[in-house]
A = this chain, B = another copy of it.
């Protein structure tokens, strides 16, 4: 126990444990929904998850906890971890208390309706049918942000939910710089000769087996983990000792599945590395989505895009796909994994163009919340932005402004964390490069345990003790910026092959 024993501390400690357990239980219900639940369970599961969320909210705002937190805040004999826990727990509690319950319900219902409207409107490519519900969500999220009143402007309060401490004004110059430096890179990288695997059949069984092989290779502990399959890959953990991720299986190429495995393994290794001594407290977590994404992107793009990685798994690939692999070697797989081409859909974008998709969404959602852009003008702004940033124009709104679920679901401030993850991943890789005598060489020599130890030391073992920017400052000795990512992309994509 990190703090001195007392009735208040025990009460708060139990409370934090209950909140962690409830969040984990809800996570497992979600995992099951995506991996196993039959279609008939949709309505019942939605309601059940709603009940758990409501119970958790009631726990968060429990009156007696406010008193105990107040008593503890006045104490001067708490250690750093105890103070960290109280800070994060109080932060969540304050956010919950500052938004009136009526508004919470309004937002929840508006988002629910907007997600349905979005699904229908996207299917029919009818933005007009989506504009009304989305307008309401934007207006309500702005009211929520004003109630929370964190940062310099409403958008900050929304961003702060996913990336505590981040502010729009700090991100804008970073993203503008990134944008300016990416544009020429996209042009150069797109000129490289196209690479395609010959048409083959890649068995589902083989793809699941290679997922397990890669997991073992990089140090994922399957005695405390599960690997499964779902339409959209994701990682979750109901509680310590049980970290799960899924991969997607696509019969005509193994690349998408292996990239997904590496990405989710990054998240999963992070979760397995959280500090045991603060389990069932808010410190047993990543400090932000950007920090979490730094781990997935590190494995997906920094490790997964080395030739050495594909050489490492080539023997297993030959064993698991004896027919499909004929005439294919690590070099070809490596090149196929790194095709760059401006495309319409963010989630299918390559490593070079990806961040431009995010830059566009950041600009647009910032303008929406600032009231500088009206929902009616969103499709045009989105298409113009795609034209400007990537040189292609979505032929429909379904392939443009309506491609993501995030805004419909009220998730403003979420998109930038993807790019923050890419920036931090590149900065971490730069340090690992120096420290391990070359990252590609470490991979070639199979020193995955060293890579994992590096990340455990620099990132995982700290849990949520430090805000992300501070955590990364200490881990890399750098301020957040695009130098490392741009250097990585230049190295990878402006040399031939």
Task: Kindly state the separation between the CA atoms of A41 and B51 in the bound complex, as whole angstroms.
Answer: 24
Contact of A225 among B28, B38, B52, B280 (CB under 8 A): B38
How far does the Cβ of A99 sit from chain B's closest Cβ, in whole Å?
Answer: 21
B41 near A238: Cβ-Cβ < 8 Å: yes
The closest CB in chain B to the CB of A26 belongs to B25
CB within 8 Å for A242 and B37 given contacts A28-B28, A29-B28, A48-B21: yes
Judged by a CB distance under 8 angstroms, whether A18 is at the interface is: yes
B239 near A55: Cβ-Cβ < 8 Å: no
Judged by a CB distance under 8 angstroms, whether A376 is at the interface is: no
Judged by a CB distance under 8 angstroms, whether A102 is at the interface is: no
The closest CB in chain B to the CB of A221 belongs to B40
Interface size for chain A: under 10, 10 to 19, 20 to 34, or 35 or more residues? 35 or more
How far does the Cβ of A117 sit from chain B's closest Cβ, in whole Å?
Answer: 24
Q: Which of A40, A240, A279 has the most CB of B within 10 A?
A: A40
How far does the Cβ of A393 sit from chain B's closest Cβ, in whole Å?
Answer: 41
Contact of A41 among B18, B44, B228, B239 (CB under 8 A): B239
A24 / chain B contacts, CB cutoff of 8 Å = 44, 48
B240 near A44: Cβ-Cβ < 8 Å: yes
CB within 8 Å for A226 and B48 given contacts A32-B32, A241-B43: no
A242 / chain B contacts, CB cutoff of 8 Å = 37-38, 40-41, 44-45
Q: Interface 1/0s, chain A 219-236, versus B by CB < 8 A?
A: 001111110100000000
CB within 8 Å for A238 and B21 given contacts A38-B225, A222-B38: no
Contact of A38 among B45, B54, B55, B224 (CB under 8 A): B224
B223 near A39: Cβ-Cβ < 8 Å: yes
Q: Which residues of A contact B (CB under 8 A)?
A: 17-18, 21-22, 24-25, 28-29, 32, 36-45, 47-48, 51-52, 54-55, 221-226, 228, 238-242, 279-280
